[in-house]
Amino acid sequence: MDKVTKLKTGIFSGSFNPIHIGHLAIANYLCEYEGLDEIWFLVSPQNPLKAHSELWSDELRLKLVELAVEDYPRFHASDFEFHLPRPSYSIHTLDKLHATYPEREFYFIIGADNWTRFDRWYQSERIIKENQLLIYPRPGYPIEKRELPKTVRLVHSPVFEISSTFIRQALSEGKDVRYFVHPRVWNYLAMHTKDELL
């Protein structure tokens, strides 16, 4: 297929532990303002830079992403990394995506906080050389646009000072944080006890 006809697919890979409105708003912005046709939320089964014990179950995190994105046709929940060797390294995921979906042009989405430590990522130089990256801003992590490689672009999406860690902590304290997550996610969490989730 000619490159110009390829679907521009953003790959938003993360733990989503759990997914929150910051994730959704950034992805929404990238579709509506940065020219992406669709975004796949790739739920990572294990981030090599995070302790596995911090993660909710793969099934729960994927379920919450599915609930959060089901009413926006340009968003898709994906368990693609569940079927790859663990731990999940982004270069392996991207290689497999390119091989499996040649009809798509992939854009790898990361936050500015991850960009500042990108040199720690496995085969980071090859990721940059062989893929297009979109960096969204994060508080406290300024990015110098002029220093970015040609394959890396800084986008100007709104900044959200919200994290999955905050959500989990709030839930553990019995806080009502329904406006920090998608309504269907909140309803699902509300139906389950703290012991089932944490």
Cα 4 to the center of its chain, rounded Å: 25
Q: In what order do the strands lie in the sheet with 75-78?
A: 75-78, 38-43, 7-14, 104-111, 132-136, 152-154
Neighbours of 102 (CB within 10 A): 10
pLDDT digits (tens, 9 = 90+) for 117-167: 999 999 999 999 999 999 999 999 999 999 999 999 999 999 988 999 999
- The candidate with the shortest Cα–Cα distance to 181, out of 22, 37, 9, is 22
Judge whether 75 and 58 are in contact, CB under 8 Å: no
Residue 21, pLDDT score: 97
pLDDT digits (tens, 9 = 90+) for 52-68: 667 899 999 999 999 99
Question: What is the sign, positive or negative, of the torsion defined by CA atoms of 177, 181, 186, 188?
Answer: negative
Confidence band (pLDDT; 50, 70, 90) for 93? very high
Candidate from 26-40, 88-102, 184-198 with smallest mean pLDDT? 184-198
pTM recorded for the entire structure:
0.91
CATH architecture for segment(s) 3-161: 3-Layer(aba) Sandwich (3.40)
Mean of per-residue pLDDT scores for the chain: 92
Confidence band (pLDDT; 50, 70, 90) for 1? very low
What is the secondary structure of 11-73 as a DSSP string? EEEE--TT--HHHHHHHHHHHHHS--SEEEEEE-S--TTS-GGGPPPHHHHHHHHHHHHTT-T
Distance CA 46, CA 26 (A): 22
Q: Does residue 43 surpass a pLDDT of 50? A: yes
What is the secondary structure of 172-198 as a DSSP string? HTT---GGGS-HHHHHHHHTS-HHHH-
The 8-class DSSP code of residue 87 comes to: S
Distance CA 19, CA 121 (A): 23
Q: Does residue 79 surpass a pLDDT of 70? A: yes
Tell me the domain boundaries of the chain: 3-161
